[in-house]
Chains A and B, each alone.
Chain A
């Protein structure tokens, strides 16, 4: 069941209306950029979601989810740990940032492997 894109795009349009009202009051550039930018971004996200919905050609079988349930993902945890170590490394030293980057690479590789395994019949 789709058509959710209308919610995102419609809500983005509502933000654009609020940004347009803001114009009456002579906003500063940052004020206008934030609200209008978020509105335009949401409209774009809505359209991208619509495009994604269009790609789903076969109807989903009733009562079933088409994707097999991934039960665990060590690679996801690895990626999150890597990102955090990488970021904290900015404070504690390059060695730590490098270690974090390595763990990120490991996690990303693991995610690709998990994804490929899931695609196999």
Chain B
């Protein structure tokens, strides 16, 4: 019986079943839906901010509301959109890619999911309070977040919400990590795991210690607001920053690695080639890169003058080598490949190009003498939006267009997808590219107002128009979702000819994931199967992957 013809009690039963289901696919779908809703909310906040900045003076919101908007926009996008998106991909795909029937600790994963949802709602509940939501930036920086400076209960709800949702994300990370390391199918050795699964191993290794640090820090901050003195004195705010950025910098890569893994899979599938330099990708980049990313947090504190800039600049620059290998591996996968220019592939290529801008501007702000110039300016905003929006979110869309058929059994429309891509490329580069220019002109971040004589008006107006174009792109994506789910084009088990195990089962997969597993001899078992079929004469030679 389809959803449309189900009776009310049946629909209620299904809804309750989804709420308490320990099936990793159901949990991941929940994460995706919540992240999408939060993305729309965070996007509205961004558009409000851009509307305010379109002209000099205060037109749309007050300074206080603007402070709340940039705090909640950052908090929503980071804690409730990009991290959950990354975890959702891992929760759905890692058990499938390692050939497991379920995720490790399915109940723990369900607890983690609900802690995340309820924590995110608690964080956003500040909008309903008299004093408004948290407004001490997305990092809740002390002493700004202390009771004397932000006495509103919305700030308390922000702290408690971030603590609870991070606890949930930690539990989800542990489940994904132990699925990859302990639930693999027979013959699925570590070096036969798919590149995406390895990217999730790197991601969750970072999460094991990063998330608990934030949970404890939020507890300390709440205690400090009720009592006193934990973050007072000359060392107090520095200790807060050390603890926050020890969470905050690895988390930058938690929001990057899964999408690199996804892009690697997309390149492999649409170029019909195995990932180039797989062992390097795993060892030299995923594990080395993940380790380095735990040791660079001090570069957020260069201008405090209280960290050793040399060490943190050294480790930050070492990341360039690991990232470079990653880029070459993915780019060389396309070399002599039989490329199919699908929407997923085009999003993946755009991810590579746009993230490069974010990465190269990262080299700039990882160099202390240059960072001192760029600090607190719009250059920093441009840099991290090129990494998180122009990079990670484009990678997320590549993943969505690639795996949507697996999740739902229906194909997304390619034409609408390409229209969305074009709108988003134009909007993204106008909005965030010009932020480098306005930062270069000296515009500081976190201001609601500026003078006409500052000369930033034209650039800001163009950025606002660009953000509107991004919004249009998102509307096209929503239309694509609705059209594709209502007028379904059936996907079949393997519509793309993908390399890894998830394509060996039905779309969507059954509750136990697989009825039977194909032989696992390499990290691309379905490519092996295709070559065997070519050898046996059941497929044409040109269908053989390289």
Contacts and interface: CB of A to CB of B under 8 A. Distances in A.
Interface stretch (B31-39, B85-93, B105-113): B105-113
Contact of A3 (B168, B190, B311): B190
A8 B501 CA distance: 24
Contact of A45 (B21, B201, B208, B307): B208
B516 A63 contact: yes
A106 interface: no
A55 B421 CA distance: 51
Interface string B153-169: 10011001001100110
A27 B315 CA distance: 14
Contact of A70 (B106, B188, B243): B106
Given A42-B205, A84-B122, A91 B163 contact: no
A41 to B, nearest CB: 6
Contacts of A42: 205, 208-209
B182 A91 contact: no
B185 A1 contact: yes
B291 interface: yes
Is chain A's interface secondary structure helix, strand, loop, or mixed overall?
A: helix
B182 A81 contact: no
Contacts of B168: 80
B22 A71 contact: yes
A90 B287 contact: no
Nearest to B160: A87
Interface string A22-61: 1011111011001100100110010001000100000010
Given A2-B182, A83-B164, A91 B157 contact: yes
B287 A14 contact: yes
B430 interface: no
B242 interface: yes
A21 interface: yes
B205 A8 contact: yes
A46 B342 CA distance: 41
B159 to A, nearest CB: 9
A119 interface: no
Interface in A54-80: 60, 62-65, 67, 69-77, 79-80
Interface in B117-170: 118-119, 122, 153, 156-157, 160, 163-164, 167-168
Is chain B's interface secondary structure helix, strand, loop, or mixed overall?
A: helix
A17 B59 CA distance: 53
A111 interface: yes
A26 B311 CA distance: 9
Nearest to A115: B107
A79 B111 contact: yes
Interface in B481-535: 511-512, 514, 516-517
Given A2-B182, A7-B201, A84-B119, A73 B222 contact: no
Contacts of B517: 63
A41 B294 contact: no
A4 B191 CA distance: 11
A93 to B, nearest CB: 12
A73 B107 contact: yes
Contacts of A111: 107
Contacts of B288: 14
Contact of A81 (B17, B118, B163, B291): B118
B388 interface: no
A45 B165 CA distance: 23
Nearest to B167: A83
A99 interface: no
A15 B295 contact: yes
B115 A84 contact: yes
B101 A65 contact: yes
A83 B311 CA distance: 40
A81 B122 CA distance: 12
A26 B308 contact: yes
Nearest to B100: A65
A87 B163 contact: yes
Interface string B276-314: 000000000001101110110110000000111011000
Contacts of A63: 185-186, 514, 516-517
A28 B308 CA distance: 9
Contacts of B246: 34, 38
Contacts of A60: 186
A49 B298 CA distance: 31
Q: Most chain-B Cβ atoms within 10 A of its Cβ — which of A15, A24, A74?
A: A15
A11 B185 contact: no
Contacts of B108: 76
A111 to B, nearest CB: 7
A22 B188 contact: no
Contacts of A71: 21-23, 511
Contacts of B156: 91
Contacts of B19: 77
Contact of A22 (B102, B213, B295): B295
A27 B115 contact: no
A5 B201 CA distance: 12
Q: Most chain-B Cβ atoms within 10 A of its Cβ — which of A2, A42, A75, A83?
A: A83
7 closest A-B pairs by CB: A4-B181, A80-B114, A84-B118, A65-B101, A1-B184, A25-B311, A14-B291
Interface of A: 1-8, 10-11, 14-15, 18-19, 21-22, 24-28, 30-31, 34-35, 38, 41-42, 45, 49, 53, 60, 62-65, 67, 69-77, 79-81, 83-84, 87-88, 90-91, 111, 114
8 contacts: A1-B186, A3-B190, A18-B291, A35-B294, A53-B182, A72-B20, A77-B114, A88-B160
Interface of B: 17, 19-23, 100-102, 106-108, 110-115, 118-119, 122, 153, 156-157, 160, 163-164, 167-168, 177-178, 180-190, 201, 205, 208-209, 213, 222, 239, 242-243, 246, 287-288, 290-292, 294-295, 297-298, 306-308, 310-311, 315, 511-512, 514, 516-517
Given A7-B190, A34-B243, 5 more contacts: A69-B22, A76-B108, A76-B114, A77-B114, A83-B164
